[in-house]
């Protein structure tokens, strides 16, 4: 018989700990909920064990469901098999380690599991804990026959009266449970309170955060007989003596005579918090069938519905994976990837639905979870293709969303230079000979093999901002040859190309007051944003921070010390224009380096500037640094200002 790969017992605790650290806060709640849902439960209840509360003042978190339950042997396998447990194992199914690795490290004293089935209507109970060796094992009880003679030790028993722990384990079972499973989290010791969750200093979980986590993690609650699975979490609060009216919630008096109120709170799932709206739709963003559902909530409606039991209380971008929400992100940078501008992001929901990778379709692209179930990755271990999704959504930007954006923009106080198109075209045309980069472009007759970068060159009109009413034709004098892919040379590439020196277009620039989370930057570049100014359509916008101390000092210096007799507003306009043009030139130059062959390695393989390299050059930090200490900017301001305002003032 062949020797199979296995995990030594002594290594299991280390693997459990590693998986725990890789997971995030409340991962145990997700794993417990998912196990209950897969058991067919229609009720999932995160409760608090009442007997120990009344008898000992110990508040233990329980998790109960009315699913199919587990037979004694299944129960034993579930808790003692790491990477298994009786359920289907696969890349698109279970990994067989989630609940164990997320709950055992912070419950070393133990987790009691009691399950009721048709085969064991009185219940089967076991207790897993960390023993003196540091390994996880089942607690054992001495068994005896009817006459009291010992028969040995067993690990699965019927629930019993346990004075030490202040409860009869069989009485935890609620009235609504015929079959199902109960889990009791015991923490570090017999007197540990676990109702708040994991109290590790790095996590410090609370019930409020648990509710919000569940509402943010579960995208859609599955239906049972046409109704969503009833998921509740019991919270606690102390009843004040001044409260004359009795609450309708259950109350329990602890041994110290404090009265605690059991407050049930419902979990509805993220979709519940997206208000119903007529402004919604879907965009398919790749050849794999990835779909992005968007919803825009117009005023005066609130952009988030429901109660405060939602983690961010603002719209977000999430990825749907088998009904769960991953990578929830409400940041400006995430929304900007999709062309959703700052003016409308606070009212726009985006839900990405990529295909799920499956062992049954190993050659097809899809997404899957890491073992911790904390993040998603693409097939092959790659990060999710956010840029590709964002670019495709922007290229097919919904008309209703664009109208909402334009309406919000019309009311915005940001401003741009009306002569921007002419000035930028003049400057960049003069600098273009230096900005040409040797790139590999797709060509049917090319001899260089490479892979597309996702960027194109030779698009009609990419020589600069173009009047929206203008026309162009491919080829001929003043035209271009049509769209061609920029390639990265690679021996196993999918496209043929040739070396060429090409030019690209340019974005617009705009000055505005940055919000506090971005106030430290002088400038930032938003690739997926259209801007129309004076009949010219721009792709991309460079925003400059009009309130940054560097620029404020510049405005003051030129207005107060150089041209004190001139209109300060006109002086500031000049300074803004020159800095704006400088920022755009930096971005354009960086973009045109994409695909540039810069060297060859020792094995003669090409060293090429790629999209990630270009992105690093236009990140807010890099772009801000590029605008510091510019002597040429000072000279341009002096030259142009001299013609507008006369000679500079003398001391």
SS3 readout for 292-310: EEEEECCCCCCCCCCCCCC
> What distance in Å separates the CA atoms of residue 147 and residue 82, rounded to the nearest whole number?
38
Q: How confident is the model at residue 250 (pLDDT cuts 50, 70, 90)?
A: confident
User: How many Cβ atoms are within 10 Å of 306's Cβ, its own excluded?
Assistant: 17
pLDDT for res 467: 34
pLDDT at 244 over 50: no
Mean pLDDT score, 482-493: 60
pLDDT for res 381: 86
Give buried/exposed letters for 21-31 (b at 16+ CB in 10 A, else e).
ebbebbbbbbb
At residue 180, what are phi and psi to the nearest 5 degrees? 150, -170
- For residues 461 and 419, is the Cβ–Cβ distance under 8 A? no
Q: What is the pLDDT of residues 344-400, one digit of tens each?
A: 999 999 999 999 998 888 889 999 988 767 889 998 889 999 999 999 999 899 999
> What distance in Å separates the CA atoms of residue 564 and residue 167, rounded to the nearest whole number?
84
- How far does Cα 327 stand from its chain's mean position? 2
Which of 127-131, 151-155, 556-560 bottoms out in mean pLDDT, i.e. has the lowest?
151-155
Which whole-number Å values give the CA distances from 346 to 280, 301, 353, 392, 528, in the listed order?
15, 12, 21, 21, 17
Better-predicted residue by pLDDT, 312 or 566: 566
> What distance in Å separates the CA atoms of residue 272 and residue 258, rounded to the nearest whole number?
36
pLDDT for res 373: 76
Helix (H, G, I), strand (E, B) or coil at 563: coil
Which of 81-85, 140-144, 506-510, 559-563 bottoms out in mean pLDDT, i.e. has the lowest?
81-85
> What distance in Å separates the CA atoms of residue 426 and residue 423, rounded to the nearest whole number?
5
Better-predicted residue by pLDDT, 106 or 435: 106
The pair of three-digit structure tokens given for residue 534, joined into one six-digit string: 């004076």
Which whole-number Å values give the CA distances from 18 to 22, 24, 496, in the listed order?
6, 12, 45
pLDDT for res 152: 87
pLDDT for res 209: 93
Asked if omega into 300 is within 30° of 0 (cis), the reply is: yes
> What distance in Å separates the CA atoms of residue 210 and residue 208, rounded to the nearest whole number?
5
Mention every residue, 6+ apart, whose C-beta is less than 8 A from residue 162.
168, 169
From 580, 631, 256, select the one nearest 424 (Cα to Cα).
Answer: 580
Query: Above pLDDT 90, what percent of the chain?
Result: 56
Mean pLDDT for the chain?
84
Q: How confident is the model at residue 1 (pLDDT cuts 50, 70, 90)?
A: low
pLDDT at 89 over 50: no
- How far does Cα 475 stand from its chain's mean position? 44
Q: Among all chains, which residue has been given the structure tokens 């499973």?
A: 181
pLDDT for res 472: 32
Q: Among all chains, which residue has been given the structure tokens 């109660």?
A: 307
Helices 568-592 and 420-435: crossing angle in degrees, nearest 10, is 40
Which whole-number Å values give the CA distances from 97 to 100, 372, 469, 626, in the listed order?
6, 9, 61, 49
Q: Domain 9-142+152-268 carries which CATH code?
A: 3.30.565
> What distance in Å separates the CA atoms of residue 241 and residue 235, rounded to the nearest whole number?
19
Q: What is the pLDDT of residues 538-549, one digit of tens each?
A: 788 999 999 999
pLDDT for res 349: 97
- For residues 115 and 100, is the Cβ–Cβ distance under 8 A? no
Q: What does the DSSP 8-state code read for residue 233?
A: E
Better-predicted residue by pLDDT, 52 or 533: 52
Mean pLDDT score, 101-124: 94
> What distance in Å separates the CA atoms of residue 520 and residue 338, rounded to the nearest whole number?
24
- Continuous segment of H or E residues that includes residue 289: none
Which of 197-211, 529-543, 575-589, 603-617 bottoms out in mean pLDDT, i.e. has the lowest?
529-543
Mean pLDDT score, 153-163: 94
The DSSP bridge partners found for residue 607 are 599
- Strand 111-116 relative to strand 180-185: parallel, antiparallel, unpaired? antiparallel
Count CA atoms closer than 13 A to 355's CA, side-chain side: 17
Q: What is the pLDDT of residues 409-457, one digit of tens each?
A: 887 655 555 566 666 666 656 555 544 444 567 777 776 777 665 556 5
pLDDT for res 474: 33
- For residues 579 and 551, is the Cβ–Cβ distance under 8 A? yes
Q: What is the pLDDT of residues 196-228, one digit of tens each?
A: 999 999 889 999 999 999 999 999 999 999 999
Helices 207-217 and 27-38: crossing angle in degrees, nearest 10, is 50
The pair of three-digit structure tokens given for residue 299, joined into one six-digit string: 């005023």
Q: Let me know how long the chain is.
A: 651
The pair of three-digit structure tokens given for residue 244, joined into one six-digit string: 């004359």
> What distance in Å separates the CA atoms of residue 450 and residue 489, rounded to the nearest whole number?
4
pTM: 0.77
């Amino acid at each position: 018989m062949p020797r199979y790969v296995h995990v030594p017992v002594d290594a299991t605790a280390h693997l459990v700990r590693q998986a725990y650290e890789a997971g995030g806060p409340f991962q145990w709640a997700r794993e417990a909920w998912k196990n209950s849902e897969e058991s067919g439960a229609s009720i999932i209840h995160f409760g608090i064990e009442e007997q120990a509360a009344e008898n000992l003042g110990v508040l233990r978190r329980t998790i109960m469901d009315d699913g199919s339950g587990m037979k004694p042997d299944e129960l034993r396998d579930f808790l003692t098999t790491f990477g298994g447990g009786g359920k289907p194992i696969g890349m698109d199914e279970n990994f067989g380690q989630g609940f164990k690795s997320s709950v055992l490290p912070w419950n070393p004293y133990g987790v009691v599991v009691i399950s009721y089935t048709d085969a064991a209507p009185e219940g089967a109970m076991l207790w897993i804990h960390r023993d003196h060796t540091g390994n996880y094992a089942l607690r054992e009880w001495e068994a005896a026959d009817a006459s009291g003679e010992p028969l040995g030790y067993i690990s699965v028993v019927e629930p019993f009266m346990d004075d030490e722990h202040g409860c009869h384990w069989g009485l935890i079972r609620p009235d609504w449970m015929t079959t199902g499973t109960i889990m009791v989290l015991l923490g570090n010791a017999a007197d540990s309170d676990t109702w708040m969750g994991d109290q590790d200093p790095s996590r410090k979980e609370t019930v409020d955060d648990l509710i919000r986590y569940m509402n943010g993690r579960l995208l859609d609650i599955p239906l049972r007989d046409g109704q969503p699975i009833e998921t509740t979490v019991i919270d606690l609060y102390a009843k004040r003596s001044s409260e004359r009216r009795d609450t309708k919630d259950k109350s329990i008096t602890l041994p110290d005579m404090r009265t605690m109120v059991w407050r049930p709170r419902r979990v509805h799932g993220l979709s519940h918090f997206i208000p119903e709206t007529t402004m919604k739709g879907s965009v398919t963003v790749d050849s794999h069938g990835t779909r992005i559902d968007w919803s825009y909530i117009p005023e005066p409606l609130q952009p988030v519905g429901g109660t405060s039991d939602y983690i961010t209380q603002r719209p977000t971008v999430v990825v749907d994976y088998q009904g769960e929400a991953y990578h929830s992100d409400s940041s400006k940078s995430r929304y900007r990837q999709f062309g959703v501008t700052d003016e409308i992001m606070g009212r726009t929901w985006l839900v990405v639905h990529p295909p799920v990778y499956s062992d049954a379709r190993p050659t097809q692209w899809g997404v899957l979870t890491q073992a911790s179930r904390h993040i998603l990755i693409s097939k092959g271990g790659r990060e999710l293709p956010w840029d590709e999704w964002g670019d495709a959504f922007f290229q097919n930007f919904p008309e209703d969303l664009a109208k909402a954006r334009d309406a919000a923009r019309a009311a915005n106080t940001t401003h741009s230079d009306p002569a921007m198109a002419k000035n930028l075209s003049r400057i960049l045309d003069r600098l273009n000979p230096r900005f040409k980069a040797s790139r590999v472009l797709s060509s049917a007759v090319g001899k260089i093999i490479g892979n597309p970068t996702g960027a194109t060159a030779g698009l009609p009109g990419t020589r600069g901002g173009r009047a929206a009413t203008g026309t162009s034709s491919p080829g001929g004098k003043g035209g271009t040859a049509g769209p061609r892919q920029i390639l990265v040379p690679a021996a196993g590439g999918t496209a043929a190309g040739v070396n060429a020196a090409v030019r690209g277009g340019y974005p617009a620039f705009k000055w505005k007051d940055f919000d506090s989370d971005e106030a430290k930057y002088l400038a930032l570049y938003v690739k997926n944003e259209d801007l129309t100014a004076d009949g010219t359509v721009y792709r991309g916008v460079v925003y400059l921070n009009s309130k940054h101390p560097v620029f404020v000092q510049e405005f003051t210096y030129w207005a107060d010390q150089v041209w004190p007799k001139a209109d300060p507003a006109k002086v500031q306009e000049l300074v803004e224009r020159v800095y704006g043009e400088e920022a755009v030139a930096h971005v354009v130059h960086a973009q045109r380096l994409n695909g540039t062959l810069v060297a060859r390695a020792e094995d003669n393989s090409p060293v090429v500037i790629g999209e990630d390299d270009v992105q690093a050059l236009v990140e807010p930090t890099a772009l801000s640094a590029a605008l510091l200490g510019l002597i040429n900017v000072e000279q341009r301001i002096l030259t142009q200002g001299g013609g507008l305002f006369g000679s500079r003032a003398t001391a």
